[in-house]
Amino acid sequence: MASFPTLKTGVVAQYGSDRSRQFSTGVLRFLDGREQRFQGVGTPLLAWVIRLDLLDESELGNLELFFENEGGRAGTFSFTDPWDGTVYASCSFGSDDLALGFEEIARGKTQVVVKENRS
């Protein structure tokens, strides 16, 4: 299985990235307006918003190639949590779109969402 690419510095994310937990909650709405809520699946899933700035052409190219090889959201890869170093074996991109930009030489930037998959 493929692994999310690291930058030349050996990290997968830069300062300003975010991590969140996503719970599975079901809601039943009754005709009288009341609601009943219940926990769908016990374990929350993690999601990361990875912001990458000041990338050179090779780093941006590696990420673009990885995204294409994975087929966007269709692919599954391992991802190392930048907060605690835990490796999550089943993750995927949160979107089928990857916006890449260059402000000037060696100043490429992008933002990707990585989601943990239910195994």
Residue 22, pLDDT score: 81
In degrees and rounded to multiples of 5, residue 48 shows phi and psi of -125, 135
Report the helix count and the strand count for the chain, using DSSP H and E.
1, 6
Give the pTM.
0.76
What is the reported pLDDT for 32? 93
Rounded to a whole number, what is the largest CA-CA distance in the chain? 61
Please give the Cα distance from 6 to 45 (Å, whole number).
22
d(CA 50, CA 69): 19
At residue 73, φ and ψ (nearest 5 deg) are: -65, -20
pLDDT along the chain (119 residues), means of 10: 84 78 81 84 85 86 93 93 91 92 78 89
Confidence (pLDDT) at 113: 93
